[in-house]
Structure 1
Amino acid sequence: MASQLTAGRDGPVDLEIILPVFNEETVLDALFGRLDLVFDSQARLDHQLSSVRFLIIDDGSSDNTAARIAQLIREGLPARLIRLSRNFGHQAALSAGLDHAKADLVAIMDADLQDPPEIILEMVQAWRGGADVAFGVRENRKEGIIKKFAYAAFYRVYAFLAEVDVPLDSGDFSLLDRKVVEAMKQLPERLRFPRGLRTWVGFNHVAIPYERLARQEGESKYDWRSLYHLATDGIAAMSIRPLRIVQFSTFFSSLFTLILGTGLAVRVSMGSNLDPEVYWSLIVCLAVLATSSVNLACLYIFSAYIGRTYLEIKGRPTFVVMETVPAEKDPSE
């Protein structure tokens, strides 16, 4: 089995690294300086990488990020810049990268250097050992305790609700074989959650543990609102179990109301000293409270799925490309 997995993986391959950026002007010099050191000529020779190129997705930056990257490309940076027409969001930017990637191996990492690029070389070795997907697992995060707790809670709720086995504490940082990228591109949904789709398409996965570092420069673009949308979109994209929970909740809510009503009838028929009107008031209040809480929770879950369905039915593209640098040639020419 091992020989089949590793067949054809001993020779040179080309690597493309997807880097989504949004207002990251201050970190660009540190980013490309680090990448230049990690993927120098000796490292490429040692890991049999015939080429290493960067696929940079500018997600509607309003600062000089795109201009600075275009300048670096003109100065010889081995990269392509895909500029989106506005800020479509991190997951859409990753989808744009996957759609435009052409290499044998495709890596995904954040531009803020919280994901150490040195780990990508370990992922390449894992690929040579038979992995189709090598993904990073965060053993520790250099972030505040509240965010750490929120991330840990999300990954565990997500893993519980997902209908495929998803790894805990694993984000988008990964390396994908060409066939995995092609499989993900064939999926029809437009509101994509790449880390979930990466798991859904299957193939052979290997976890690479690492320590997630603090940002080198600038501030995180993921505020609490963005993290909330990421969490709800991710769960709605990968599971219908919340809808099944709604079904069970409705059943048990009705059962609870029935039990309360039966208890009331029994107490009244036994001639309890307590005024029956008091019993009725208590039972009705409890029943209304219980059913109202369940109904509100159900409406919340329904709204997430209905909103997602509404956006999918519109058929709008996941992203719109405004410009590529260097400019892509017209195939008709």
Structure 2
Amino acid sequence: MKHITVVTPCYNEEDNVEEVYRQARAVFESIEGVSYRHLFIDNFSNDKTPDILRRMASEDPNVQVILNARNFGHIRSPYHGLLQAEGDAAILLVADLQDPPDLMREFVRHWQEGAKLVVGVKPSADESGLMFAVRRAYYRFITRIADVKLIQNFTGFGLYDRRVLEVLRKIDDPYPYLRGLVSEVGFEPVKLPYNQPLRKRGITKNNFYSLYDMAMLGITSHSRVPLRIATIAGFFLSGLSLAISIIYLLLKLVFWNTFAAGTAPILFGLFFFASVQLFFIGLLGEYVGAILTQVMKRPLVVERERINLEEPPKC
């Protein structure tokens, strides 16, 4: 019998963890020839989520729990949980029920037919039109500039075969961009579309900073195009500055008594080039920060407690 681990990262999800557990259990009870366990990794919640997880684990030995020593962020904690999954495959399923657990049946069916990577993609979502348009524009942008072919509208929801997980464990990335790494490993994904519903319980933990962090991580991890654009823009703007300076000099020499440059062009030019410099310095800083994160080699998370789970495997 094949064994699958469902990995659910959570942070302050006291309203959702029991429901996502019930729905996942109902799905796997309807699948023949497959056993499962449900691994919850809690990112130092300050509500009742840890207590609920402990109770669930005491009532059902198939429920496994990892409690982090502190909040390690929305990038590292889910990835660490995925790497701790036992068995023949793992499914990453968020706790807020915005990824439909019922789709896991199709994940398992394609996996049983031989697929090593089955992912859910969301071409539509029940969110504001502006936010969805921004997300879609980002996915298209990062797909165009990335060094590898990324999966559009993919958030991590999917089934990962043991072979995929073994490759991910060898990468040893302290701040991984999972959506890009699944493309880096080279397994051809089976894509299953779904409509992402609105969150029904609790409050979303994604704010502007977390979304920006995810966006910049995707760019700095899988593309050098922005750096090359900065270099090209530097050559172009320096040439433009030289051309404007020569034009102004010629106009002043020809119309010495009547031509007055004034302060407005100087101020506009000063602020324009200063803003361009600040933008590209900030962009360069993002790449330097990504390099610093890689060099420091800090652990993904530090665990405070494990329930119904063996010691972590050696990666």
- Contact in 2 for aligned 1:134/1:205 (Cα 8 Å): yes
Separation in 2, partners of 1:22, 1:330: 21
Which residue pairs with 1:120 in the alignment? 104
Q: Quote how far apart the aligned CAs of 1:36 are.
A: 2.1
Which residue pairs with 1:159 in the alignment? 143
Q: Quote how far apart the aligned CAs of 1:154 are.
A: 2.2
What code does the residue aligned with 2:310 have?
A: E
Residue 330 to residue 198, structure 1, CA distance change in 2 (3 Å): closer
> Please, which runs of 5 or more residues in structure 1 have no aligned partner?
1-11
Q: Quote how far apart the aligned CAs of 1:311 are.
A: 2.8
Residue 315 to residue 231, structure 1, CA distance change in 2 (3 Å): same
Residue 137 to residue 192, structure 1, CA distance change in 2 (3 Å): same
Residue 33 to residue 198, structure 1, CA distance change in 2 (3 Å): same
Residue 329 to residue 92, structure 1, CA distance change in 2 (3 Å): closer
Given the alignment of the two structures, is residue 262 of structure 1 paired with residue 240 of structure 2, yes or no? Answer: no
- Contact in 1 for aligned 2:76/2:176 (Cα 8 Å): yes
TM-score by length of 1: 0.87
Given the alignment of the two structures, is residue 309 of structure 1 paired with residue 291 of structure 2, yes or no? Answer: yes
Q: Quote how far apart the aligned CAs of 1:17 are.
A: 0.9
For the residue of structure 2 that corresponds to 1:57, the secondary structure is: strand
Equivalent residue pairs, number:
313
What code does the residue aligned with 2:31 have?
A: R
For the residue of structure 2 that corresponds to 1:25, the secondary structure is: coil
Q: Quote how far apart the aligned CAs of 1:150 are.
A: 2.7
Which residue pairs with 1:6 in the alignment? none
Deviation per CA, 1:28-47, whole angstroms, max 9, x where unpaired? Answer: 2221221222121xx221xx
What code does the residue aligned with 2:27 have?
A: V
Select which of 242, 252, 266 maps to 2:236: 252
TM-score by length of 2: 0.92
Which residue pairs with 1:207 in the alignment? 191
Which residue pairs with 1:44 in the alignment? 31
Given the alignment of the two structures, is residue 278 of structure 1 paired with residue 234 of structure 2, yes or no? Answer: no
Given the alignment of the two structures, is residue 76 of structure 1 paired with residue 65 of structure 2, yes or no? Answer: no
For the residue of structure 2 that corresponds to 1:39, the secondary structure is: helix
Which residue pairs with 2:8 in the alignment? 19
Separation in 1, partners of 2:130, 2:43: 27
Larger mean Cα displacement after TM superposition, 126-135 or 239-248: 126-135
Separation in 1, partners of 2:292, 2:160: 31
Residue 248 to residue 141, structure 1, CA distance change in 2 (3 Å): same
What code does the residue aligned with 2:116 have?
A: D
Deviation per CA, 1:77-122, whole angstroms, max 9, x where unpaired? Answer: 5121011111111221122112211221111111111111111121
What code does the residue aligned with 1:315 have?
A: K
What is the percentage of aligned positions where both structures have the same residue? 28
Select which of 43, 46, 49 maps to 1:59: 43
Residue 30 to residue 318, structure 1, CA distance change in 2 (3 Å): same
- Contact in 2 for aligned 1:112/1:217 (Cα 8 Å): yes
Which residue pairs with 2:305 in the alignment? 323
Q: Quote how far apart the aligned CAs of 1:323 are.
A: 0.7
What code does the residue aligned with 1:25 have?
A: E
Separation in 2, partners of 1:29, 1:121: 20
Deviation per CA, 1:11-36, whole angstroms, max 9, x where unpaired? Answer: x4211111001111111222122122
Select which of 67, 90, 97 maps to 1:106: 90
What code does the residue aligned with 2:205 have?
A: K
- Contact in 2 for aligned 1:249/1:294 (Cα 8 Å): no
Residue 282 to residue 221, structure 1, CA distance change in 2 (3 Å): closer
Residue 277 to residue 216, structure 1, CA distance change in 2 (3 Å): same
Q: Quote how far apart the aligned CAs of 1:143 are.
A: 1.6
- Contact in 2 for aligned 1:250/1:294 (Cα 8 Å): no
Residue 222 to residue 306, structure 1, CA distance change in 2 (3 Å): same
Residue 67 to residue 140, structure 1, CA distance change in 2 (3 Å): same
Which residue pairs with 2:128 in the alignment? 144
Q: CA RMSD in A?
A: 2.2
Select which of 215, 218, 229 maps to 1:234: 218
Residue 128 to residue 327, structure 1, CA distance change in 2 (3 Å): closer
For the residue of structure 2 that corresponds to 1:192, the secondary structure is: coil
Which residue pairs with 1:135 in the alignment? 119
